[in-house]
C-alpha cells in the first residue's frame, strides 16, 4: 500500500464516507502524537492521502516513518474489520 516516492512514504486510504475517514484521521492523530511524528495529509470526503518523511533528517524516509506507516496500516485494518 505504501510507496516510497520523492523522499517520502505515500499512501491513500478510502472509506465508506467522510465520518469514517475522519475517525481514521483522529486515531492516526493520537498515534502520531504518541510517536512524536506527524504526517502530512489531505482529506477529501471519503479519501485520506498521507505523506511521511522525517523533517529533522532533511525530509527523507527514516525508520520513524516506517514505524508510523506500520501503525497507520494497523489502524486502517482494525477499522475495516
pLDDT number for residue 41: 97
Record the pTM: 0.93
pLDDT number for residue 80: 82
10-residue mean pLDDT profile of the chain (81 residues): values are 94 97 98 95 97 89 96 94 69
The CATH number of the domain where 32 resides is what? 3.30.1360.20
Task: Give the number of domains in the chain.
Answer: 1
- Strands, sheet with 8-14, edge to edge from the N-terminal-most edge strand: 3-5, 8-14, 47-52, 40-44
Residue 50 burial (CB count, 10 A): 23
Domain containing 69 equals 3-80
Q: Any idea which residue has 491513500 for its cell?
A: 12
pLDDT number for residue 56: 82
pLDDT number for residue 59: 86
Helix (H) or strand (E) holding 52: strand 47-52
Amino acid at each position: 500500500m505504501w510507496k516510497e516516492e520523492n523522499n517520502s512514504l505515500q499512501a491513500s486510504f478510502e472509506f465508506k464516507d467522510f465520518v469514517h475517514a475522519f475517525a481514521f484521521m483522529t486515531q492516526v492523530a493520537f498515534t502520531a502524537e504518541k510517536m512524536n511524528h506527524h504526517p502530512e495529509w489531505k482529506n477529501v470526503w471519503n479519501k485520506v492521502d498521507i505523506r511521511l518523511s522525517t523533517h529533522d533528517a532533511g525530509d527523507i524516509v527514516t525508520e520513524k516513518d516506517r514505524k508510523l506507516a506500520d501503525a497507520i496500516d494497523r489502524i486502517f485494518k482494525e477499522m475495516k474489520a
